[in-house]
């Protein structure tokens, strides 16, 4: 098939022309994925790969994705479809996304994150800054596997003396006495995904040896009470099915030299009384506790069959409409911040697409999920530099455009009753300034605008950045909210 030659052209040169078939993939399937992702045409000629497109930014993104594939091929690695999708995902997240790897002794291939959120999660677990890390999001996003991989790495490196795994044994509570077999046999069916991960990382023989030596331990929640887990890496899986008291009991088991990964999905609570779930409660009350970090996964982080991600996204969209079965679920999205969006600059349609109001509402809802349930409203004006300059001059006495302006509806939200809908305030974004900053910082304009909208909303909610401590708190919350939207740390810098 002859394709229309688009206006702009980019060229990716391979040092070894023999790598072209590997990078292109069978029937050029890898190139096709990159084409579809960025709206470009790609052809392979000799030792070059040519990119044609109408948009220089799209060409650059395709170039970056292909360059990542070339580097992997030059290092001797095979290229799979998940590798291609991962390269595309990191490019979409912006040039600041990290993609570090976890090396395991005795394993030929490193464990590499496939999405920016996985990279954030892996860094949080591996680094020394956080001893308690919550991984929150749908199944299939790699939370359990990455937690097990970090636990195994720390065990093999001698940083901990054992790995302890636990989860609610059955969805309706701890009813192990009615199950046949000893303790391990009773719990094993519910921990099969974790055992599969251990077996993949260690091999069956080494796994059995370490289990026999007590270095890898399984313990249902009912048997954790009264223990102190020192010098251990602890994994709590399916944490949404713990009660508040169970969650408190688990978190207070942490001893000297230990680290804990708590994974779960607040939208999949199976307790008889969903309001008793300990996961949303812990996420809310521990948000500002030093030494704790929450990483939010989304449908974009699903690393199973691509269809699974689309299925998860469909269910997430459907969850916006209440049903009797979900009425008592204390998911974070119960908070309702209604957004009224006005657009008077044509440039924004190219940023958020045709359904701008829905895109803005999704961002506002993500922010709402980090706060106590209430009903509030916010007005968002997507405009241009001239309009923002006029507003800035009128209300701030600064006759110049800026990226975002926030206008609180009241001096203090604490004096307002939450019984009815509250006018939280107004936010205005200037297109030309936002676009210029995104280009200068090498960011996606959509991601940059999303960050500024989150930033403006937090100002309306009383956050500020005048003092260093206040700035650190505000920026930390921005990172968590943006991570829940699949956006990399906007404050991350590289030398």
**Residues of each annotated binding site for Zn(2+):** 455, 459, 465
By three-state DSSP, how is residue 244 classified?
Answer: helix
Angstrom CA distances, 378 to 190, 291, 317, 426, 483, stand at: 44, 33, 21, 6, 22
Which residues does the annotation place in the binding site? 455, 459, 465
Are the C-beta atoms of 34 and 66 separated by less than 8 Å?
yes
302: left (phi over 0), alpha (psi -120 to 50) or beta: beta
* Residue 396 token pair: 């701030």
Residues with Cβ within 8 Å of 139's Cβ and at least 6 positions away in sequence, in order, are 265, 268, 312
Buried b (16+ CB within 10 A) or exposed e, 411-448: eebeeeeeeeebebbbbbbbbebbbebbeeeebbbbbb
DSSP 8-state assignment for residue 3:
P
Specify burial of residue 200 (Cβ count, 10 A radius: 0-12, 13-18, 19+): middle
CB 207 within 8 A of CB 163: no
Which of helix, strand or coil describes residue 75?
coil
Contact 406/395 with Cβ under 8 angstroms? no
The answer to whether the CB of 70 falls within 8 A of the CB of 14 is: yes
Q: In angstroms, rounded to a whole number, what is the distance separating the alpha carbons of residues 422 and 232?
A: 47
Helices (H) and strands (E) in the chain, counts: 18, 13
Look up residue 80 and give its two tokens: 């799979």
Give per-residue burial for 323-360: e unless 16+ CB within 10 Å, then b: eeeeeebbbbbbbebebebebebeebeebbeeebeebb
Report the alpha-carbon distance of residue 270 to residue 249 in Å, rounded: 19
């Amino acid at each position: 098939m002859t394709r229309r030659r688009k206006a702009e052209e980019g060229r990716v040169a391979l040092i070894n022309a023999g790598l072209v078939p590997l990078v292109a993939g069978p029937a050029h399937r890898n190139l096709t994925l990159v084409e579809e992702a960025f709206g470009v045409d790609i052809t392979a000629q000799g030792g070059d790969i040519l990119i044609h497109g109408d948009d220089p930014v799209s060409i650059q993104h395709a170039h970056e994705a292909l360059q990542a594939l070339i580097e992997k091929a030059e290092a001797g690695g095979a290229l799979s479809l998940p590798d291609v999708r991962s390269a595309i995902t990191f490019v979409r997240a912006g040039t600041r996304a990290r993609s570090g790897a976890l090396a395991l002794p005795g394993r030929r291939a490193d464990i590499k994150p496939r999405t920016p959120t996985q990279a954030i999660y892996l860094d949080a677990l591996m680094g020394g800054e956080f001893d308690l890390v919550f991984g929150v999001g749908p199944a299939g996003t790699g939370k359990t596997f990455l937690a097990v991989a970090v636990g195994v790495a720390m065990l093999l490196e001698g940083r901990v003396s054992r790995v302890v795994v636990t989860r609610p044994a059955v969805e309706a509570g701890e009813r192990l006495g009615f199950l046949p077999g000893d303790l391990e046999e009773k719990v094993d069916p519910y921990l099969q995904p974790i055992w599969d991960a251990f077996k993949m990382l260690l091999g069956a023989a080494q796994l059995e040896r370490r289990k026999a030596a007590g270095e890898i331990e399984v313990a249902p929640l009912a048997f954790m009470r009264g223990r102190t887990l020192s010098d251990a890496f602890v994994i709590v899986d399916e944490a949404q099915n713990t009660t508040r008291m169970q969650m408190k009991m688990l978190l207070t088991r942490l001893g000297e030299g230990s680290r804990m990964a708590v994974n779960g999905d607040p939208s999949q609570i199976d307790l008889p009384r969903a309001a008793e779930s300990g996961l949303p409660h812990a996420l809310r009350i521990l948000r500002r506790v030093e030494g704790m970090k929450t990483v939010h996964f989304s449908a974009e982080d699903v690393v199973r069959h691509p269809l699974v991600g689309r299925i998860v996204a469909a269910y997430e969209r459907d969850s916006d409409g209440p049903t009797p079965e979900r009425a008592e679920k204390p998911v974070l999205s119960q908070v309702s911040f209604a957004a009224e969006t006005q657009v008077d600059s044509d440039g924004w349609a190219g940023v958020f697409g045709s359904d701008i109001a829905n895109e803005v509402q999704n961002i506002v809802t993500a922010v709402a999920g980090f706060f106590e349930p209430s009903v509030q409203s916010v007005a968002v004006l997507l405009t241009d530099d001239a309009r923002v300059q006029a507003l800035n001059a009128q209300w701030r006495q600064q006759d110049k455009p800026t990226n975002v302006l926030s206008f609180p509806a009241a001096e203090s939200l604490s004096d307002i009753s939450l019984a009815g809908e509250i006018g939280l305030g107004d936010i205005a974004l200037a297109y030309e300034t936002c676009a210029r900053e995104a280009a200068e910082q090498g960011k996606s304009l959509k991601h940059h605008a999303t960050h500024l909208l989150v930033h403006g909303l937090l100002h309306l909610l009383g956050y500020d950045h005048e003092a260093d401590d206040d700035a650190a708190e505000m920026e930390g919350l921005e990172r968590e909210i943006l991570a829940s939207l699949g956006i990399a740390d906007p404050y991350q810098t590289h030398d």
